[in-house]
Amino acid sequence: MLKSIGSKIWAIPGGHVPLLSSGEEPRDTSCDELCVLNAGHFDAHLQLTIYYEDREPVGPYPLTVAAQRVRHVRFNDLIDPQALPLDTAYAALIIADHPVVVQFSRRDTSQAANAIATTLAFAG
């Protein structure tokens, strides 16, 4: 039986949601996205804090990932306590109460030739 996989602390240093998008919304909207895997037997409660180059951090943004489930969260959809500004560099710190695995993806549709990049977040 799998006890746990992942980490309770994750960092994403290179966030940036492009200002422009092409195609239909919301399917073709430029976005940064988290994919969180909770392979454990308990719901995981996450707190996201967003850091900027020129302003104070914002957060926490609370998220829950059910036990033995995966959840996709677009940074564009984080609005409370404050919506993320587009075309602005940011970093994210994710703290969970149970170990999870975090993947970070960017979809840039600002040009006709769309780009997708994905990487595992940095586990702390």
Domain boundaries, the chain: 7-123
Under CATH, which number does the domain 7-123 receive? 2.60.290.11
- Can you give the pLDDT at residue 54? 94
Q: How confident is the model at residue 112 (pLDDT cuts 50, 70, 90)?
A: low
pTM of the model: 0.86
Average pLDDT for 56-75: 96
Percent of the chain surpassing pLDDT 90: 56
Q: Which carries the bigger pLDDT value, residue 93 or residue 117?
A: 93
**Long-range CB pairs of 114-123, under 8 A, 24+ apart, other chains included:** 114/22, 114/28, 121/10, 121/11, 121/12, 121/34, 121/94, 122/10, 122/11, 122/12, 122/13, 123/6, 123/7, 123/9, 123/10
Band (pLDDT 50/70/90 cuts) for residue 32 is confident
Q: What is the spatial distance between Cα 51 and Cα 39, in angstroms, rounded to a whole number?
A: 28
- Work out the pLDDT band at 29, boundaries 50, 70, 90: low
Q: Is the pLDDT of residue 28 over 80?
A: no
Type of residue at 93: L
pLDDT at position 26 is 67
Q: What angle (nearest 5°) sits at the alpha carbon of residue 94, between those of residues 88 and 95? A: 155
> How far apart are the C-alpha atoms of 1 and 48, rounded to whole Å?
29
